[in-house]
Structure 1
Amino acid sequence: MKNIGIIAEYNPMHLGHIHQIKVIKEKYPQSNIIVLMSGSFVQRGEPSILNKFDKAEIAIKNGVDLVLEMPNIVSLQSADYFAYYSTMILNKLNILDYLSFGVESKDFTNLIANFEAIYLNTHMIEDKLKTYLDQGLSYKQSYIRSLDELAIDSSFMKEPNNTLAFNYYKSLRELKSNINVLPIFRNDNGYNNDEISAKNFQSATTIRKLVHENKYISAYVPLESKIKLEKSPKYHLDDYSDLFYYKSFIIQKDPSPIAGYEPGILNLLNKNFDKTLSEAVDLSHNKRHSKARLRRFIFNYLLDITNEDINSLDKISYIRPIAFNDKGRQVLKEIKDKSDIAMLNNFTDIKDNCNKNLVDIDMKSYKLHNIRSKQLNSLDYTHIAYIK
């Protein structure tokens, strides 16, 4: 029986995610699917549109066997950090046979060969990248030109899922992991795209836009996602505008120790802030500061996530299961037998070796996510993992 890992946000879970699970089950019918899922905030620097417990329950009802909560500090970092540390956590479980991810290429052999070429030429690419960045090009433009100059096929790296997939591949290589890769062709309009397309599946970004506009989503998500999205609070960046104003303008919290800070970034946001964070981000983004980067900084700032916290990521030593079925229960027993990683079933399990500062960030993140609901806030302490 194979143990297959997925790194996901399920923001929300949609039919593209269901497709990935279905393909895995077709290839390995007896496999266990273990998902490391971002919880309260996601890598694009946004609040998860649904509560993390709802997301985990939806995943179990749609073919996942075990959902582990990704430490929130990992969720709020750049793509390379996000990929490396989420991969590192899965590697520490000592049970995975494969890491599965979506790609926009059907030629997996050529795709992996290109990934390996990029990995082996990392230092040369970084040198050329710096040259193009200094010329004022965007990071993506600089990266593509660097690959072209080294005669490495750059065409597939123009697709966002392929770029993230490479970061997973690179992380496994850097970790000297025994986990194999399992790419799945992803036929959607790209996770950054917010427009409905003729592709088989719609991106989570498109679906979130439709949800906030109270438009039709039934054809794009499983029934469980539709029900939760109709009945549950739907979180948005602008829910935190007042708190940002208080922290930046009133108490004037020093941003310099904060993860993602560079001189001028907070001044840029403050200059363009009037009433809402989304407006400030829209007016502030440029070649150097993407919207996602600005949003990640905002939430690192609100949560007091510091560079010192980032420096402790290599010592992550805990996981928290938040949903599982009977097969997932057996996987948890296997993890306990084969891994030294601590299992936090609830916050009373916290020990000195469980990265208390990182767990504290998880706790604060959930409280911030549900800042308008005292009732929901209490769930992080009392919640019992959903068991199917």
Structure 2
Amino acid sequence: MRTVGIIVEYNPFHNGHLYHLQQSLKITNSDAVVAVMSGHFLQRGEPALLNKWTRAEMALRGGCDVVIELPVAYSTQAAEWFAYGAAALLDATGVVDALCFGSEAGDIAPLRRVARLLAREPAAFAGLMAAELRTGASYPGAYSAAVRRFMAEAGDAEAADFPFEQPNNTLGLHYLLALERLGSAIEPFSLRREKAGYAQTTITDAQIASATAIRKLVAESASPAGAAPFVPASTLELLLRDDALGRGRNGWERYALQLFHKLAGEPADVLGRYHEMSEGLEHRVKRLLPELDAVAFEPLLERLKTKRYTRTKLQRALLAVLLGHGKEQLAPDRLRSGVQYIRVLGFSPRGRELLKRMRTAAKLPILNSAAGAPGEYPYLTLDVQATSVYALGWPNAAPRDLFRDYYEKPVTIG
């Protein structure tokens, strides 16, 4: 059974995701799909619209066969570590033959050439990167500029002109870098992203919209039903179900009180120990807090933003405070040591067969829940804590919801 791996957030699963899934099977000539999916908190430093089990069900009903969780230690990181954790998980399953990711360019050849050159972190590139950062550019901007200069100096004009700054191209490059550094046999493929750009807030097509635009539509409507043209029927059903339960439409504002409690209650030197809190950001936070008119996330973010402190950078830093993620916990050396387990969130009947193969082929232990898991999995502890924080954003959260990782079984369909 040839199997393709995909790396997703499904926030929520929409028609564009369905197209990507179906085309991934087609262009890789695969029979099954393993999805690595972020849990309750996402790569841009945001809480997921819906909990991870609901999103796993969306994935399965959309055609995925096994859904495994990307630990929060990786799911909330910038592109390099997000990609590394996800690729390492796919490699660790022992059953994934191909990886298919979406990109703005759809052309994998320049990305592969760059990845082969950068995988060993050449000193020349590090020097170019440092020079770009000294100009005051944001990290993503500095990285894409440094890649262009490096490839120009290597005599690769096509790669030097490649739009690395586009977010899915950037992620794609980091997926390939991760596969190179892992020495993985997984074969990579790329599919061109069509009709809706990443984080595009406007809707310009009758059936395809970005997840960002869909979340905006849902947030501003009386009912998630307005998303119907842009999502499969199964997604709409689950959006409506969780909304009726008071467990849909999650966003940063639901966590503002928890966040402000920590920001106001902890001194600047303590805030400075959290992951992504750097360059004096902790002092800027403490200075601006008393000037706000309300305990609300968006006004805080707007006041904090500068050219250097992008929205995504700030969201990741504030999320690290909310979740209690310290710099040492998520230090590069620890992240580089790789994932520690494979957490299964759901599977289909075909996925059950894949899991049987994984029991003997996988490089890591396979977990169905946190119950009984040994204490040497510190990243699993972070996942359990993240679920507790996430559940506190629900208006009707029960104490049992905070510990759902211990008792919730993987979602099954069929």
**Given the alignment of the two structures, is residue 262 of structure 1 paired with residue 278 of structure 2, yes or no?**
yes
Q: Secondary structure at the match of 2:69?
A: strand
How far apart are residue 111 of structure 1 and its match? Answer: 4.7
Give the one of 390, 394, 401 matched to 1:369.
390
**Given the alignment of the two structures, is residue 385 of structure 1 paired with residue 385 of structure 2, yes or no?**
no
Match of 1:300 in 2: 320
Match of 1:124 in 2: 124
The CA deviation string for residues 154-200 of structure 1, in whole angstroms up to 9 with x for no partner, is 33213211111001001111111111102112114322222223497
Give the one of 161, 182, 190 matched to 2:189.
182
Q: How do 1:145-224 residues align onto structure 2 when only pairs under 5 Å count? A: 145-150=145-150, 151=152, 152-198=159-205, 201-214=208-221, 216-224=226-234
**Given the alignment of the two structures, is residue 23 of structure 1 paired with residue 23 of structure 2, yes or no?**
yes
CA distance in 2: counterparts of 1:266 and 1:114, whole angstroms: 36
CA distance in 2: counterparts of 1:111 and 1:315, whole angstroms: 23
CA distance in 2: counterparts of 1:205 and 1:271, whole angstroms: 31
* TM-score between the two structures when normalised by the length of structure 1: 0.92
Match of 1:86 in 2: 86
Name structure 1 gaps, 5 residues minimum: none
Name structure 2 gaps, 5 residues minimum: 153-158, 243-247
Aligned residues: 386
Report the identity percentage.
26
CA distance in 2: counterparts of 1:35 and 1:308, whole angstroms: 29
CA distance in 2: counterparts of 1:106 and 1:7, whole angstroms: 16
The CA deviation string for residues 202-229 of structure 1, in whole angstroms up to 9 with x for no partner, is 2111111111111732221112222222
- Paired letter, 1:319: I
Match of 1:226 in 2: 236
Q: Secondary structure at the match of 2:68?
A: strand
How far apart are residue 140 of structure 1 and its match? Answer: 4.0
> Aligned pair in 2 of structure 1 residues 17, 218: CA closer, same or farther (>3 Å)?
same
> Aligned pair in 2 of structure 1 residues 120, 134: CA closer, same or farther (>3 Å)?
same
Asked if the contact 2:141–2:165 (Cα under 8 Å) also holds between the matched residues in 1, the reply is no
> Aligned pair in 2 of structure 1 residues 322, 110: CA closer, same or farther (>3 Å)?
same
Query: Which of 194-203 and 163-172 deviates more?
Result: 194-203
Asked if the contact 1:4–1:34 (Cα under 8 Å) also holds between the matched residues in 2, the reply is yes
CA distance in 1: counterparts of 2:207 and 2:255, whole angstroms: 34
CA distance in 2: counterparts of 1:120 and 1:350, whole angstroms: 35
How far apart are residue 259 of structure 1 and its match? Answer: 1.5
Q: How do 1:101-116 residues align onto structure 2 when only pairs under 5 Å count? A: 101-116=101-116
Query: Which of 243-252 and 172-181 deviates more?
Result: 243-252
CA distance in 2: counterparts of 1:18 and 1:84, whole angstroms: 24
CA distance in 2: counterparts of 1:334 and 1:267, whole angstroms: 52
Query: Which of 62-71 and 93-102 deviates more?
Result: 93-102
Q: Secondary structure at the match of 2:328?
A: helix
Match of 1:334 in 2: 357
Q: Secondary structure at the match of 2:33?
A: strand
- Paired letter, 2:79: A
CA distance in 1: counterparts of 2:161 and 2:120, whole angstroms: 15
How far apart are residue 271 of structure 1 and its match? Answer: 3.4
CA RMSD, aligned part only?
2.3
CA distance in 1: counterparts of 2:229 and 2:117, whole angstroms: 39
> Aligned pair in 2 of structure 1 residues 279, 238: CA closer, same or farther (>3 Å)?
same
CA distance in 1: counterparts of 2:110 and 2:174, whole angstroms: 16
Match of 2:339 in 1: 316
